[in-house]
Homo-oligomer: A and B are copies of this chain.
Amino acid sequence: MKVILIMAGRPKIFDEQSAVEKALEVFWDQCYHTASTEELLKAMGIGKGSFYLTFKGGKQELYQKSIRLFFEQQYQQMEVMLLQAENPITALKKLFRALARGTAKEQQRGCFLGNALVQLSEKETVVKNEVDRLLHQLQQLFALVVTKGQQQGIVNSGLDPELIAWQLLNLWNGIQVTRRMQRAPEVLQELIETNLEMIL
């Protein structure tokens, strides 16, 4: 059943989700504090009137929504990739190996969620707590994948899946920082490879 809502009033010139997607890019390239509303509005292609009507919470609401959108999209994609693969461990390794092959820009902007954890101050504790929750959800996904892998007998390590998942998340967080150091990509590759070898 499709619901069509017809309302009087001047029509919106923008779609909320795609506006958030545009803002997300700005927040990611810069960070929450340095991204000015002016830049955000320009990227979204809307004026202040429209913005504050839609996002009554202002910049912070926009940021929170960009975080949620990012996670929904990214997590869903990962979940499909990891859980539908015939070999979940190979898929997991592929995910980490990709971290060494990003463009210079990608290397510099790191992980959107990890950034929030490091860049937000006490004023944004609410958002920070949500990011914490989301990253924990990612850790749980890793744990599930490892459990599946162990059941299939394709995991070398016999450690607790929960612990292995924390190691993976920590490896993830570390690489997102370390790869900001401009080094030959081989260093990063070797680093990731030996870590995966040890952990899984």
Q: Which residues of A contact B (CB under 8 A)?
A: 30-31, 33-34, 110, 114-115, 117-119, 121, 128-129, 132, 135-136, 159, 163, 166-167, 169-178, 180-183, 187, 190-191, 194-195, 198-199
Contacts and interface: CB of A to CB of B under 8 A. Distances in A.
A181 to B, nearest CB: 5
A102 B65 CA distance: 32
Copies of this chain: 2
A178 B187 contact: no
A174 B190 CA distance: 17
Given A167-B194, A182-B132, A119 B187 contact: no
Nearest to A181: B132
- DSSP majority for the A interface? helix
Contacts of A169: 178
Given A163-B190, A173-B178, A198-B199, 17 more contacts: A30-B121, A31-B119, A33-B34, A34-B121, A114-B118, A117-B180, A117-B181, A118-B118, A118-B119, A118-B180, A119-B119, A132-B181, A136-B183, A163-B194, A166-B191, A170-B174, A170-B178
A191 B114 CA distance: 18
When A and B form their complex, which 7 residue pairs have the shortest distance between CB atoms, in order from nearest?
A174-B174, A173-B177, A170-B174, A118-B118, A173-B174, A198-B198, A117-B180
A174 B173 CA distance: 5
Contacts of A191: 163, 166-167, 170
Contacts of A171: 170, 174
Contacts of A117: 177, 180-181
Contacts of A170: 171, 174-175, 177-178, 191, 195
